[in-house]
Amino acid sequence: MSNSYVFYQGKIVDESEVTIGIRSKAFNYGLGCFEGIRAYWDEEQKQLFGFRLKDHYTRLLQSSKSLNLNIPYTADELSKWTIELLKKNNCKRTTYIRPIVYNDAQDIGPNLSKPDTKVVIYCQPLDKYAGKSELSVGITSWRRLEDNMLPPRTKATAAYLNSALASLEAKRAGFDEAIFLTSGNHVCEGPGENIFIYKKGKLITPPASDNILEGITRDLVMQLGKEELGLEVQERSIARTELYASDEVFFSGTAMEVTPIIEVDHRVVGDGKQGEVCKKIKELFFNLTVGKNPKYAHYCTPVY
Ligand SMILES: Cc1ncc(COP(=O)(O)O)c(C=O)c1O
């Protein structure tokens, strides 16, 4: 179900007023980039909180710069528009926000040099993305794109074909989701989420140099691991079989939030249930996303 108002080119308009032409480079070649943001509804406070809006829009501006797309708004302006949009749609549930910046030039050829840049933001209700609270995942035969091919850091629309192929393969093989390896055979990430392992008191996640998207949730999970749980947190390459031998494995991401992985390639992880570290991080996460932890309240922008 979509909401009826969207942000488009500096205005909030009815969604039916926005169309994309069949000649658009965004449609023909996937020339664009996007973000995924959540706003969390808290029933107790009857309040909706935009989560880390400025961080998401800062990443969008960085992605756009790599793709030679010029956004005529600052991260603060886009954050304000997002709050306006949520209000206009009268969103009173946890909501997913999708800003897209795209090249709408209509001539033939995958050309980034003279873009006709458009900015659109839409939103829709989203509760649990995975539809399950514990996941079984499989390593995909598709390799993660590299920074020098189609940089995962840019959250480019076109790069999500790589994600979609991996997910399709994993789901057809009976898994809930895929895990990518890099071309150097290091564990990379899921199609739309970062990955963590926990073993012997250490929380470990692949480094930025292993072609991951540097997730905003990943950043928060590392902070929570270090500052709230007192764990040693490492960013280092992970080998495939380390996943099988870990005490815990979990995903992090805006859509996926913090979700435990209890099986990898049909090998049970730990004792086959959500682990204690993942559970504690989830509790901290869901408490702070609705502004209930003063230390992290600056991440939450109240809408009403
Ligand atoms: C490929 C990929 N990795 C990781 C993530 C998680 O990033 P974030 O926590 O910023 O949502 C996403 C989601 O945007 C993603 O698409």
pLDDT at 252: 98
Confidence of residue 1 (pLDDT cuts 50, 70, 90): very low
Going by alpha carbons, the residue nearest to atom 16 of ligand 1 is 192
pLDDT in tens, 97-150: 999 999 999 999 999 999 999 999 999 999 999 889 999 999 999 999 999 999
193 CB near ligand 1 (under 6 Å): yes
Going by alpha carbons, the residue nearest to atom 1 of ligand 1 is 192
pLDDT at 3: 54
pLDDT at 254: 98
Counting ligand 1 atoms within 8 A of each CB, the residue from 163, 194, 211 with the most, and so the one to mutate, is 194
Measured in angstroms, how far is the CA atom of residue 232 from the centroid of ligand 1? 23
Counting ligand 1 atoms within 8 A of each CB, the residue from 254, 258, 259 with the most, and so the one to mutate, is 254
253 CB near ligand 1 (under 6 Å): yes
Catalytic residue among 114, 155, 199, 226: 155
Measured in angstroms, how far is the CA atom of residue 108 from the centroid of ligand 1? 31
C-alpha atoms less than 13 angstroms from C-alpha of 197 in its C-beta half-sphere: 25
Active-site residue flag, 200: no
104 CB near ligand 1 (under 6 Å): no
Mean pLDDT of the chain: 97
Whether residue 44 is predicted with pLDDT greater than 80 in this model: the reply is: yes
pLDDT at 267: 98
pLDDT at 40: 98
216-223 and 53-66 helices, crossing angle to 10°: 130
Whether residue 249 is predicted with pLDDT greater than 80 in this model: the reply is: yes
Topology of the domain covering 5-125:
D-amino Acid Aminotransferase; Chain A, domain 1 (3.30.470)
**Superfamily, domain 135-288:** D-amino Acid Aminotransferase, subunit A, domain 2 (3.20.10.10)
291 CB near ligand 1 (under 6 Å): no
pLDDT in tens, 178-229: 999 999 999 999 999 999 999 999 999 999 999 999 999 999 999 999 999 9
pLDDT in tens, 47-101: 999 999 999 999 999 999 999 999 999 999 999 999 999 999 999 999 999 999 9
What would you report as the CA-atom Rg of the chain, rounded to the nearest whole angstrom? 19
The minimum-distance atom of ligand 1 relative to the CA of 36 is: 14
Residue 33: is it exposed, middle or buried by C-beta count within 10 angstroms (0-12/13-18/19+)?
buried
Domains 5-125 and 135-288 share a fold: no
3-state secondary structure 212-241: CCCCHHHHHHHHHHHHHCCCEEEECCCEHH
Amino acid type, 261: I
Q: Position of tokens 């399950």? A: 132
The minimum-distance atom of ligand 1 relative to the CA of 194 is: 4
Measured in angstroms, how far is the CA atom of residue 179 from the centroid of ligand 1? 13
Whether residue 2 is predicted with pLDDT greater than 70 in this model: the reply is: no
**What mean pLDDT is predicted for residues 242-267?**
98
Contact in structure between 283 and 224 (CB atoms under 8 Å): no
Going by alpha carbons, the residue nearest to atom 13 of ligand 1 is 192
> Domain coordinates of the chain in residue numbers?
5-125, 135-288
